[in-house]
Amino acid sequence: MERQTAAWQALVDGSGHHRLFTLEHDPVITMGRRAAPADLLLPEEQLRARGIELVVSDRGGEVTYHGPGQLVLYAVVDTRALRIGPSDLVRALAGSVSAYLATLGISAPYDTAHPGLWTEQGKLAAVGMRISRGVSMHGAALNLTTSLDAFSLFVPCGMPGASATSVAAVMAQPPSLTEAAAACASRFAAALGLELSPEVSSDEPR
């Protein structure tokens, strides 16, 4: 989170570059700006006992989960420099993930009413961003081989009864996180008309 914030500040100051962080989190449930306390079905101490951290986030949306087997994409982009609106950026990121999934034979269109990528089996990817002073933070989270048990600990998207799914649940051989990250990143860069210059950090948080 610190690196994302630093990248955001650099862009706001005019000294940074557009960035897309691709990573894998340790287990954490995050509460977005529209989350309600009742959306959590277990108290924080019981979540901690299960090894799950609880974090209040400034992103859009309600409650979601990040954990092993899930590709998280944090986009730090200056919408002013690219002359695009917030919805254009969200659609570019969501569309890039959706287009990649289509190459795997998975149809998961972006739902603007319930932000995320949905299949007939349930929600496959969460999408939630924050744009402040023209620069974005946060992004999307794609369930690849993610354990789905944690999604029963809260009300996803503020929708009781909504279910989550993963790529592993809908196809026999899901791609690796590294493969999915590269494919989504290249599509996102192309959608914004940017040149992709990959960097690898050994201290990037999971």
Residue 203 lies in a domain: no
pLDDT, tens digit, for every residue of 27-83?
999 988 888 888 999 999 999 999 999 998 888 778 889 999 999 999 999 999 999
CB-CB contact of 125 with 96 (8 Å): no
2-24 residue pLDDT tens: 899 999 999 999 999 999 999 99
Residue 199 lies in a domain: no
Q: What is the mean pLDDT of residues 172-176?
A: 95
- What's the distance, CA 5 to chain centroid? 16
Instruction: Give the pLDDT confidence of 158-171 residue by residue, as tens digits.
Output: 677 778 999 999 99
Q: Within a domain: residue 201? A: no
Mean pLDDT for 178-184 is 97
157 noted as active-site residue: yes
Q: Is the pLDDT of residue 205 over 60?
A: no
Q: Do the domain assignments include residue 198?
A: no
Structural domains counted in the chain: 1
Q: Which two tokens stand for residue 175?
A: 């791609």
Residue 151's domain comprises 2-191
**Residue 127 host element (H or E):** strand 122-132
Tokens of 177: 């996180």
Neighbours of 43 (CB within 10 A): 10
In a domain, 130, yes or no: yes
State the DSSP H helix or E strand holding residue 170, giving kind and residue range, or none if neither: helix 167-170
CB burial of residue 143 (10 Å; 0-12, 13-18, 19+):
buried
Say how many C-beta atoms besides its own lie within 10 A of residue 34's C-beta: 14
Rounded Cα–Cα distance for residues 23 and 175 (Å): 15
What's the confidence (pLDDT) of residue 93?
A: 97
pTM, two decimals, is: 0.91
Domain assignment present for residue 197? The answer is: no
112 contact partners, CB below 8 Å, separation of at least 6: none
Q: Give the span between the Cα atoms of 175 and 167, in whole angstroms.
A: 8
Strands of the 116-119 sheet, one edge to the other: 19-23, 70-76, 135-143, 122-132, 116-119
Does 202 map to a domain? no
Output the domain CATH number for residue 76.
3.30.930.10
In-domain check, residue 184: yes
Annotated catalytic residue within 40, 157, 164, 177: 157
